[in-house]
């Protein structure tokens, strides 16, 4: 039995409220958290030059997002742009991607989600180009369950409103999707949940590709086995988001400026 078997919702909740003697992170503005998310996912392979966009809906309905001109690896809190629900810039001289409509439509149609992430991620992008769903081979690839929709009606980039709307409709109530010949899409109720989904998708995709390079033949985990080791708690893996955020802050404390 692996050490995570049986890690169910009650056990996660038991440990999550007790982080230890010291704060796991300093107090961070929401813009700083979004900038950290961009840095954290860059390191995970969500780093196709200046492509990709993260949106985070605030309690007042406004939306935070990364600027079009800057790569995720260089963003700081002061670069994060605030939009109104219609996508109009409120507080920045930066531009936002023309493909932001995909996110605006997601937020409008899915009141349960507050974070949406799209990029041409490295490992999951391979499977998107293969138009195949990667199997789950280990516990880290199983954290967010098995189901992974493949949206395979690629009609171009998401600047077109009809194209982005069809992608939103195809996603339905799923937590993530592969976009055939394009990239990856992850949504979540908050940054922590979306982070776990994004890194799990990339790990799952990487491991599955490595198994194929090794000649295949390995047996994927069954759906029942995946259910045993998946993280049932909506808040994600305890302390993981904070640990990855601390790593970025050690490398560049100026992220939060």
What is the rounded average pLDDT of the residues 29-42?
A: 98
Task: Give the range of the structural domain holding residue 44, as residue numbers without chain letter.
Answer: 9-18+27-250
> For residue 169, which of 108, 213, 233 has the smallest C-alpha distance?
108
> Residue 240 domain-assigned?
yes
What is the rounded average pLDDT of the residues 38-67?
A: 97
Query: What confidence tens digit (pLDDT) does each residue in 144-163 have?
Result: 999 999 987 655 454 555 55
CA 54, CA 152: separation in Å to the nearest integer? Answer: 22
How far CA 178 is from CA of 124, 149, 183, 202, 253, in Å, comes to 7, 6, 6, 11, 33
Q: What angle in degrees, to the nearest 10, is found between the helix axes of 191-213 and 122-130?
A: 60
Average pLDDT score over the chain: 88
pLDDT above 70 covers a percentage of the chain that reads: 84
The answer to whether the CB of 28 falls within 8 A of the CB of 80 is no
The answer to whether the CB of 40 falls within 8 A of the CB of 251 is no
CATH number of the domain bearing residue 141: 3.40.225.10
> Residue 108 domain-assigned?
yes
Q: Does 211 score more than 60 pLDDT?
A: yes
Query: What confidence tens digit (pLDDT) does each residue in 84-103 have?
Result: 999 999 999 999 999 898 89
The pLDDT assigned to 6 comes to 46
> Residue 172 domain-assigned?
yes
> Residue 3 domain-assigned?
no
Which run of H or E residues covers position 79?
none
CA 211, CA 48: separation in Å to the nearest integer? Answer: 24
Quickly list H helices, 98-174: 101-109, 122-130, 161-171
Nearest 5°: CA angle at 128, between 178 and 214? 120
> Residue 4 domain-assigned?
no
3-state secondary structure of 246: helix
The pLDDT assigned to 172 comes to 79
Whole-model pTM?
A: 0.88
What is the rounded average pLDDT of the residues 125-145?
A: 96
What is the rounded average pLDDT of the residues 113-141?
A: 97
The pLDDT assigned to 2 comes to 45
> Residue 1 domain-assigned?
no
What is the rounded average pLDDT of the residues 212-223?
A: 94
The pLDDT assigned to 99 comes to 87
Query: What confidence tens digit (pLDDT) does each residue in 176-192 have?
Result: 999 999 999 999 999 99
> Residue 256 domain-assigned?
no
3-state secondary structure of 248: helix
What's the domain count of the chain? Answer: 1
The pLDDT assigned to 21 comes to 66
Q: Does 245 score more than 90 pLDDT?
A: yes
């Amino acid at each position: 039995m692996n050490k995570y078997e049986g890690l169910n919702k009650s056990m996660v909740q038991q440990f999550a409220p007790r982080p230890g003697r010291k704060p796991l992170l300093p107090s961070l503005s929401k813009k700083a958290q979004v900038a950290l998310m961009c840095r954290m996912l860059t390191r995970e392979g969500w780093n196709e030059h200046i492509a990709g966009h993260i949106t985070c809906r605030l309690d007042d309905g406004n939306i935070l997002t990364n600027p079009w001109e800057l790569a995720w690896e260089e963003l700081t809190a002061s670069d994060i742009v605030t939009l109104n629900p219609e996508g109009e810039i409120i507080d920045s001289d930066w531009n936002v991607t023309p493909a932001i409509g995909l996110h605006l439509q997601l937020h409008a149609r899915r009141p349960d989600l507050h974070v949406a992430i799209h990029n041409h991620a490295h490992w999951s992008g391979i499977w998107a180009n293969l138009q195949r769903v990667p199997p789950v081979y280990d516990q880290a690839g199983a954290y967010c369950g098995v189901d992974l929709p493949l949206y395979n009606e690629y009609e171009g980039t998401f600047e077109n409103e009809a194209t982005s709307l069809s992608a939103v409709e195809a996603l339905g109530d799923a937590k993530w999707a592969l976009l055939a010949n394009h990239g990856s899409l992850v949504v979540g109720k908050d940054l922590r949940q979306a982070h776990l989904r994004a890194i799990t998708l990339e790990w799952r995709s990487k491991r599955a590709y490595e198994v194929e390079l090794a000649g295949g033949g390995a047996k994927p985990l069954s759906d029942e086995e995946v259910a045993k080791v998946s993280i049932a708690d909506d808040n994600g893996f305890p302390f993981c988001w904070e640990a990855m955020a601390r790593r970025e802050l050690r490398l560049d404390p100026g992220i939060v400026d």
